[in-house]
Amino acid sequence: MVEPDTLYVAVSQSGETIDTLAAVQELQRKGGRVIGIVNVVGSTIARQVDGGIYLHAGPEMSVAATKSFTSTVTAFALLALHLGRIRDLSPEQGRRIIAGLNALPGQVAEILEQSDALADVAQDIAKSHSVMFVGRRRGWPVAREGAQKLKEISYVHAEAYPSAELKHGPLALISPEMPTVAVVPDDDLLDKNTSTLSEIKARKGPVIAVAHRELPSDLADRTIVVPRAEPELDPILLSIPLQLLAYYAAVALDRDVDKPRNLAKSVTVE
């Protein structure tokens, strides 16, 4: 049900999508207000929505959007900050998040400096038939994005699961031939996350951790250390290494990373 007093957000990272445009038009027809988070200036969706944010991420040549994805998540952070200030976000909290946003470019550059190490890790992923991604709370959507990117451009099968659900079935898949990429931020769930890694290692599953600190070898075979941001912004930085792992795995397998098979930038069918 469309509520007239509800604000809806449409996201258009690179190409136009018929289904997104149709959804925007239907929402407006029923009285909904729609804002857009759009990369392409003057695109159909940008003209259709009631207002919004331009990403200005530049042309996204790859079908599997990366920089526009990162920019979209950042734009959502800015939108949340704006709405928080309208309601009850304190000036101190607002300044904290703004400082965190200003620090992001330098922190992303730190991650990019690890490209050689990430390429080395990706060599092992490229040899696998399947990869599991796990995460909790803020790490769960990051794990989903990592699995999506790996499937899209390397054609290596990957699935993402909430860490808490491993014992409900997926743990049976763990084997020495199936690596797990675990998103392990240094938050109040760190102990639960390390417990999950112990369960995987006990079944001889290789573990690649994306974390804020180097993890001991009995928990992770390889650790990709990511700079700490403000907790609300951590997912932005945690996603970058997973994009790079997918990229380097695809390169190792001699895939066309910009034009993966069966995919197109503009979705014109349902």
In this structure, are 35 and 137 located in the same domain?
no
Residues 125 and 245 both lie in one domain: yes
Is 106 part of any domain?
no
189 and 136 inside one domain: yes
- Band (pLDDT 50/70/90 cuts) for residue 3 is low
Query: 52 and 166 share a domain?
Result: no
Cα–Cα distance, 251 to 208 (Å, whole number): 19
What average pLDDT does this structure show over 160-175? 82
Higher pLDDT, 60 or 164: 164
Residue 130 has pLDDT above 80, yes or no: yes
Residue after which a domain boundary falls, among 26, 54, 89: 89
122 and 43 part of one domain: no
In a domain, 140, yes or no: yes
Q: Residues 233, 104: contact at Cβ < 8 Å?
A: yes
pLDDT at position 226? 93
What pLDDT does 269 receive?
46
Q: Are residues 212 and 122 in the same domain?
A: yes
173 and 213: one domain? yes
- Does any domain span residue 206? yes
Inside any domain, residue 100: no
Q: Is residue 160 part of a domain?
A: yes
The three-point CA angle 69-73-79 to 5° equals 140
Mean pLDDT taken over the chain: 86
Q: Is the same domain home to 245 and 123?
A: yes
pLDDT of 151 reads 92
C-alpha closest to that of 139 among 92, 102, 186:
186
Counting residues of the chain whose pLDDT is more than 90, the rounded percentage is: 40
* pLDDT score at 44: 83
Same domain, 54 and 178: no
* Segment 123-140 mean pLDDT: 91
**For the chain, how many structural domains are there in total?**
2
**Cβ pair 237, 111 in contact under 8 A:** yes
Query: Tell me, what's the pLDDT at 149?
Result: 92
Q: Check which CATH number belongs to the domain holding 32 and give it.
A: 3.40.50.10490
For residue 141, give its domain range: 114-252
238 and 176 within one domain: yes
Assess if residue 214 is contained within a domain: yes
pLDDT at 217 over 50: yes
Domain closes at, from 72, 89, 106: 89
3-state secondary structure the chain: CCCCCCEEEEEECCCCEHHHHHHHHHHHHCCCEEEEEECCCCCHHHHHCCEEEECCCCCCCCCCCCHHHHHHHHHHHHHHHHHHHHCCCCHHHHHHHHHHHHHHHHHHHHHHCCHHHHHHHHHHHHCCCEEEEEECCCHHHHHHHHHHHHHHHHCCEEEEEEHHHHHHCHHHHCECCECEEEEECCCCCHHHHHHHHHHHHHCCCCEEEEECCCCCCCCCCEEEECCCCCHHHHHHHHHHHHHHHHHHHHHHCCCCCCCCCCCCCCECCC
Cα(244)–Cα(125) distance, integer angstroms: 12
Q: Is residue 41 assigned to a domain?
A: yes
Specify whether 126 is located in the same domain as 210.
Answer: yes
Q: Please tell me the predicted confidence (pLDDT) of residue 268.
A: 46
If asked whether residues 119 and 247 sit together in one domain, one would say: yes
